[in-house]
Chains A and B, each alone.
Chain A
Amino acid sequence: MSDRLAARSASRLAGGPGSRLGDGAAAVALLVAFALPVGRLDGAAVGWLERPLLLASGLVALAAALVLGLRRPHGGPAALLAALAVILGALGPLTAVGGTLETGSVSPGLWVYLAGLGWLAWRALELLSEQRPASRLLARAQGLVVPLLFGLWLLYLWQLLTIGFAVPKVLLPAPSDIWSVAAASTGTLWADFRQTFLKAVLAGFALGSASGFAVALLIDRVPFLQRGLLPLGSLAGAIPIVGIAPIMVMWFGFDWPSKAAVIVVMTFFPMLINTMAGLAASDRIVGDLMRSYGASYRQTLVKLRLPAALPFVFNALKINSTLALIGAIVAEFFGTPIVGMGFRISTEVGRLNVEMVWATIAVAAVSGSLFYGALALVERMLTFWHPSYRKGGT
């Protein structure tokens, strides 16, 4: 009794009052879809029965909609089955659109079907999100799977809509087009990556962050300079520093050193003010403790203040990783040898070769998040003691 009550209140919390209505509407949409043509081939309308694969996948989705709507299940297995049904239900249209159907010829049947499937996908995500896994590992898996499925769904819609409506490639190419262009030009992409990331970004990032850190340490004992630099450092966040790119190109030439120079200036200030804040962050009692031991300035710095500043330093490193990539790419808009991600974006966009632009952006996105992720990993290892990472403490 009480279990059922709990389940009912959980369903109300998760689904809301509109949820049952939505399930019904989705089931009706799926049923209606079967009556409509899915597309055209050689001018003739094509129905569901002529595409068995599509039909099979549609029936899976319909079954899932009926079960979700009538039985209203909860719990992990139901959530996983719902997700599986959505994936199976999505496969049919994927093979049909752009494959066994003419591009741009997709008819109402498929769109109505997709609307119903969309609701099912939302419900599956809802069911997955409402689970409260017992183990840490499962909770982690949940934290990955839910956004991953959501991302896949968006990618899927992107693919189907661009192909199905025959969206001009200049406007938005389909993911599959981007993929094939990327796969065909790995050499160019690698050369761009090496030029922009391995040379300019890494050099500029290292030099800018290191000098920000060093200056913060140097002026640590000069409060006068600190008071003068702190407001300037904070102002630097308001300034579009990347605008110095044309000047750096003039000073350091077209190749990567000019991009690295832009990055050095961009990354210097975040590191400076974060390190300064970090060095000031250790609390007063611990400072008094070091004083009670008669510790020297160096001892206090090495044993107390630098470790305490570490979370701030990593914060700056993470900010800088993104700034560095932006700086390199934008600086390349102002002039570069004929290689580099920013160069590729600006020239290919000019030639309306949009797939290549998207491929380059994908490379930039992946390398940016991997760079950031690597820094976050090192941070986790070195600042395991920080409240944001602690596990099992009191």
Chain B
Amino acid sequence: MTDVLAQARPAGLAGLGRLGGGRALPLATVLLAILALWYAGAVYLNAPQVIERFERAHQDWSSLDLVAAAWSMERPVLPAPDQVAMELKKTVFDTRITSKRSLVYHAWVTLSATLVGFVLGSLLGILLAVGVVHLRTLDRSLLPWIIASQTVPILAIAPMIVVVLGNLGLTGLLPKAIISMYLCFFPVAIGMVKGLRSPETLQLDLMRTYSAGAAQVFWKLRWPASLPFLFASLKVAVAISLVGAIVGELPTGAVAGLGARLLTGSYYGQTVQIWAALVMASLLGMALVFAVGLAERLTLRATGGAVAGADR
């Protein structure tokens, strides 16, 4: 009675919150609204400067002139979306990707550090979780610190890592990758401990009735059970790994990378450049999370597991 029909209740009486359903139209509407707000905001924020310029030039102006000028300023307070899009086009498609003016080049610099740090940090986190699950002493002594580390702004030590390693002659990718690594490490370790502990007593007891060894319990029960948790934390990890790489580019005085683009942009008031770098970073972040999600779906399909519960 309950199972089939509960899922097929008539519309309107569905009761509390079902947020599913068609998403394309609402999403498009919200995005359009944001775009409209953006254009409006560009006019609002840029208007004072534009008016000042008009008046200095003793020029007559209509509100149409104002809007047009506000959307095409050289260094606007808020660039219009199409200006950002043009900047992206110019720096992504119209520039050789080996050039220092190419945003693809800078994105790659950041991405490579992100990926190296992500892979190392995740491996380290998984290893530590395995240790914690199997050694009670580690569980009692180390795990509390790892959990507590989640409440601490560990990103703050990023500049120090860059400078200290730079002092040792290590520059470029490595310091940033190390920052990304330690940022990834903590959430992956915590998620993995949760995942490796997720099998129920019943399932563990079943393995015990088979007299399964520790390795068998691990590979046949704990590891597959932990996969949904692993991927959930990997999604978090890859996103903060990117943040770590970007922040890691700040203290060295802007050599290359998306963080460097943000910093030079802010030094020279190149707002369009900042926005283009931001958009690029956002796209990169979404692509990385999407890629992890894709890997999740493929893996879980291959292992026949369910994504249930672990989806953010």
Q: Quick check: do A and B touch in the complex, using CB within 8 A?
A: yes
The chain A residues found within 8 Å of chain B, CB to CB, are: 14, 122, 125-126, 128-130, 142-143, 146-147, 149-151, 170-172, 223-232, 234-235, 237-240, 242-247, 249-251, 276, 279-282, 284, 287-288, 291, 305, 318, 321-322, 325-326, 329-330, 333-335, 341-342, 345-346, 349-350, 352, 354, 357-358, 360-361, 364-365, 368-369, 371-373
Closest 3 pairs (CB-CB, A-B): A280-B17, A246-B266, A228-B30
Query: Contact: B151 with A321, CB < 8 Å?
Result: yes
Closest CB in chain B relative to A79 CB, distance in Å: 11
Q: How far is the CA of A68 from the CA of B32 in the complex (A)?
A: 71
**Chain B residues near A240 (CB, 8 Å)?**
239, 242-243, 246, 281-282, 285
Contact partner of A361 (CB less than 8 A), chosen from B139, B156, B271, is: B156
Q: How far is the CA of A352 from the CA of B152 in the complex (A)?
A: 23
Instruction: Please indicate which of the listed interface residues A247, A282, A350 has the most CB atoms of chain B within 10 Å of its own CB.
Output: A247
**Chain A residues near B281 (CB, 8 Å)?**
239-240, 243
Closest CB in chain A relative to B235 CB, distance in Å: 8
Q: How far is the CA of A128 from the CA of B163 in the complex (A)?
A: 40
Q: How far is the CA of A191 from the CA of B214 in the complex (A)?
A: 54
17 A-B residue contacts at CB 8 Å? A14-B136, A125-B140, A129-B141, A143-B140, A223-B21, A227-B21, A228-B28, A229-B30, A231-B27, A238-B288, A247-B271, A276-B19, A280-B19, A291-B15, A322-B153, A330-B247, A352-B167
Q: How far is the CA of A171 from the CA of B153 in the complex (A)?
A: 21
Contact partner of A170 (CB less than 8 A), chosen from B31, B142, B167, is: B167
**Chain A residues near B202 (CB, 8 Å)?**
none
**Chain B residues near A244 (CB, 8 Å)?**
278
Q: How far is the CA of A130 from the CA of B141 in the complex (A)?
A: 12
Query: Contact: A365 with B152, CB < 8 Å?
Result: yes
Q: How far is the CA of A45 from the CA of B5 in the complex (A)?
A: 86
Closest CB in chain B relative to A283 CB, distance in Å: 8
Query: Contact: B243 with A232, CB < 8 Å?
Result: no
**Chain A residues near B199 (CB, 8 Å)?**
none
Q: How far is the CA of A105 from the CA of B229 in the complex (A)?
A: 48
Query: Contact: B271 with A250, CB < 8 Å?
Result: yes
Chain A contact residues: helix, strand, loop or mixed: helix
Q: How far is the CA of A276 from the CA of B153 in the complex (A)?
A: 27
Contact partner of A305 (CB less than 8 A), chosen from B16, B21, B151, is: B16
Query: Contact: B16 with A284, CB < 8 Å?
Result: yes
Further pairs besides A122-B137, A228-B23, A349-B160: 14, Cβ < 8 Å:
A14-B136, A125-B137, A129-B141, A130-B136, A147-B140, A170-B167, A226-B19, A237-B312, A279-B16, A280-B19, A281-B17, A322-B152, A334-B250, A342-B156
Q: How far is the CA of A150 from the CA of B135 in the complex (A)?
A: 14
Size of interface on B: residues with Cβ below 8 Å to A: 68
Query: Contact: B274 with A247, CB < 8 Å?
Result: yes
**Chain B residues near A372 (CB, 8 Å)?**
151
Q: How far is the CA of A41 from the CA of B119 in the complex (A)?
A: 47
The reply on B263 being an interface residue by CB < 8 A is yes
**Chain A residues near B26 (CB, 8 Å)?**
224-228
Nearest opposing residue in chain A for B15, CB measure? A287
The reply on B22 being an interface residue by CB < 8 A is yes
Contact partner of B160 (CB less than 8 A), chosen from A238, A281, A354, is: A354
The reply on B81 being an interface residue by CB < 8 A is no
**Chain B residues near A291 (CB, 8 Å)?**
15
Closest CB in chain B relative to A165 CB, distance in Å: 15
Query: Contact: A284 with B157, CB < 8 Å?
Result: no
**Contacts A240-B285, A280-B18, A333-B247 hold; do A246 and B274 have CB atoms under 8 A apart?**
yes
**Chain B residues near A288 (CB, 8 Å)?**
15
Q: How far is the CA of A341 from the CA of B143 in the complex (A)?
A: 28
Contact partner of A279 (CB less than 8 A), chosen from B17, B28, B242, B289, is: B17
Q: How far is the CA of A247 from the CA of B152 in the complex (A)?
A: 25
Query: Contact: A171 with B168, CB < 8 Å?
Result: yes
Query: Contact: B285 with A224, CB < 8 Å?
Result: no
Nearest opposing residue in chain A for B238, CB measure? A238
**Chain A residues near B136 (CB, 8 Å)?**
14, 126, 129-130
